Amino acid sequence: MINFQKLWDKSGTKDDEYARQYPQYIKTNEKLVSLVDVRPGQVIVDLACGTWMTTEAVLKTCPNVRKVYAVDFSEDMLRVAKTRIKAENVAFIHADATDLVGHFPEKVDLALCNSSFWQFDDRSAIIRAIRTVLKDGGIFVFNLNQQFYDFGAPEANQKVIIDAIYEEMRKRGFEVTGGLKEKMTKEEIEELFASAGFTLAKTARYDVGPRSLDDFLNFFTIPATATFFEKVPERAARNPEHSP
Ligand X SMILES: C[S@@+](CC[C@H](N)C(=O)[O-])C[C@H]1O[C@@H](n2cnc3c(N)ncnc32)[C@H](O)[C@@H]1O
The site for ligand X (CB under 6 A) is made up of 4, 8, 19, 25, 29, 48-50, 53-54, 72-74, 77, 96-97, 114-116, 119-120
| DSSP notation for 157-200 | HHHHHHHHHHHHHHHTT----TTPPPPBPHHHHHHHHHTTT---
- Closest contact distance (angstroms) between CB of 171 and ligand X is 29
Phi-psi region of 242 (alpha: psi -120 to 50; beta: other; left: phi over 0): beta
Residue nearest to ligand X (CB): 50
- Closest contact distance (angstroms) between CB of 108 and ligand X is 16
Nearer to ligand X, 221 or 239 (CB): 221
Nearer to ligand X, 4 or 193 (CB): 4
Cα–Cα–Cα angle for 108, 111, 116, nearest 5°?
A: 150
- Closest contact distance (angstroms) between CB of 78 and ligand X is 8
Report how far residue 77's alpha carbon sits from residue 132's, in angstroms, rounded to the nearest whole number: 25
Nearer to ligand X, 121 or 175 (CB): 121
47: Cα separation from own chain's centroid: 9
Nearer to ligand X, 89 or 119 (CB): 119
Instruction: List helix spans (H) across the chain.
Output: 4-8, 12-21, 23-34, 53-61, 75-84, 123-133, 157-171, 186-194, 213-219, 234-237
For 31-50, give one letter per residue: b (16+ CB within 10 A) or e.
Answer: bbbebbebeeebbbbbbbbb
For 119-147, give one letter per residue: b (16+ CB within 10 A) or e.
Answer: bbeebeebbbbbbebbeeebbbbbbbbbe
- Closest contact distance (angstroms) between CB of 177 and ligand X is 18
Nearer to ligand X, 99 or 168 (CB): 99
Nearer to ligand X, 77 or 133 (CB): 77
- Closest contact distance (angstroms) between CB of 231 and ligand X is 22
- Closest contact distance (angstroms) between CB of 194 and ligand X is 22
